[in-house]
Amino acid sequence: MRTPVVMGNWKLNGTKATVADLIKTFAGVANDAANVDVAICAPALYIGQVESLATGSKLKWGSEDCDVHTTGAFTGELSPSMLKNEFNCTYAIVGHSERRGYHAETNEVVAAKFKAAQDNGLVPVLCIGESEAEFDAGKTLDVCKAEIKAVIDLCGIDAFKNAIIAYEPIWAIGTGKTATPEIAQNTHKGIREFLKTFSAEVADGVRILYGGSCNAKTAPELFSQADIDGGLIGGASLKAPDFTAIIEAAKANA
Ligand code: PGA
């Protein structure tokens, strides 16, 4: 049985005041969600504040990206070792489609970030997913497989024993067009079958989250699908009642 994960991705949103409000609320909600892993990935500037407020609760936290380097002449970058050792992050999202798209991160760069995160004790959350054109062309699984294969080539299949995959169709992110439970389940199943060609044990154990306009209304049916192990939540993780309802949906399927 895989423990469900509900992870917020705040992107470039928030103020010190909203961070304080939301983290206090979510720490309490996480404490009441015994069988669900709850986490918030926050803008880098707020990670220290999240750490102060969430320490001692069941709520975990992480970054929205990390660099491949730990220290040195890399102006503006986010060190995986600092995230882990200085701010006690559990997770680092890598390969979000907004990073791939706006910052030209290739599959190889994302794989290197995955490796750097893991080598420094963070659990990488590998985001994968196709564009609308690729979906229309029936290329969803080809895209997802290539994004995963780059990581397997660099890190080996066993790296997924301590990592999370987030399937996020780009056409569903921030658009309100949630993938139907059938579409999402089919893709998640295909991803798991692909992993199975490398290792049945890894395929069976890895948590695969759905992301893309997942909200309080759509989460219950999505989370009830056999291969969907929770969600990576953007917009709805900035609203306390919505994120709380999504955690409740995961609890019902834990
Ligand atoms: P959304 O974002 O829930 O706002 O669609 C999800 C994500 O980008 O991780």
**Residue range 64-78: average pLDDT?**
98
| Catalytic residue flag (residue 168) | yes
Q: Per-residue pLDDT averaged across 113-141, rounded? A: 98
CB 176 near ligand 1, within 6 Å: no
Residue 180: DSSP 8-state: P
How many angstroms is it from 72 CA to the middle of ligand 1?
Answer: 32
Is the CB of 168 within 6 Å of ligand 1?
Answer: yes
Mean pLDDT, rounded, for 173-188: 95
Percent over 70 (pLDDT), the chain: 100
Average pLDDT over residues 62-81: 98
Nearby residues of 245 by Cβ (< 8 Å), 6 or more positions away:
216, 219
For ligand 1, mutation pick of 12, 233, 239 (most atoms within 8 Å of CB): 233
% helix, strand, coil for the chain, step of 5: 50, 15, 35
> Which atom of ligand 1 is nearest the CA belonging to 173?
5
What pLDDT, on a 0 to 100 scale, did the predictor assign at position 248? 98
Per-residue pLDDT averaged across 110-115, rounded?
98
Question: Could you tell me if the CB of 170 is within 6 A of ligand 1?
Answer: no
Cβ(211) to ligand 1 under 6 A? yes
- 188 included as an active-site residue: no
Given pLDDT bands bounded at 50, 70 and 90, which one contains residue 28?
Answer: very high
Global pTM reads: 0.98
pLDDT of amino acid 1:
84
CA distances from 203 to 20, 36, 39 (A): 37, 20, 23
